[in-house]
Amino acid sequence: MILCAVSVSACGYGFSGRGQFPEGVQHIFVEVFDNRTSKTGIERIVTNQVIFEFTRQRQTSMVDNAANADAILKGTIRTIRTQTVARVGTEVASQREVIMTIDLTLVRQNGGQILWAAKGIQDRQVYDVAQQSQIVTNQSETDAIAVLSERMSERIFNQLTNNF
């Protein structure tokens, strides 16, 4: 087992998201993401999930006030859309997927210098369509958005910390 760990580390493999924040940043404040979609409230869902993920990964890195931060993470939810991925017959959807695209920047608190940026982070999540109940379908879509937000938050943290 030890030999395996040594050989993996010797080959340059590592766990994602275990690097440092860019430019010596120690404390980050996450602004409520800008919502450029027609989906009301999505900015709160995504922002809260990003804060949760950053807190889970590095509890001491998060601050609740921009004045106490070295850098501010700003995000824009550019698009969120659904499309049918499976049908029953030719006209009735049985599954849809929700697709979300986010842009991010990490900006130094003093001076506004962009320390890191990622444009067009996109992911998708499939959900079932209930044939007889729009309420159930809407709940399935909401659940899919929650799963999608969680997965995207993990990717955001990993991308932000991988190269530093």
Instruction: For residue range 142-164, list pLDDT tens digits in order.
Output: 999 999 999 999 999 999 998 64
Identify the burial level of 40 via C-beta atoms within 10 angstroms of its C-beta, where 0-12 means exposed, 13-18 middle and 19 or more buried: exposed
- Residue 7 CA to residue 24 CA, distance in Å, equals 30
In the prediction, which pLDDT does 3 show? 43
Class of domain 24-162: alpha beta
In the prediction, which pLDDT does 163 show? 60
In the prediction, which pLDDT does 119 show? 97
In the prediction, which pLDDT does 91 show? 84
pTM exceeds cut of 0.75 = yes
Tokens of 80: 């969120």
Residues of the chain below pLDDT 70: 1-18, 163-164
In the prediction, which pLDDT does 117 show? 97
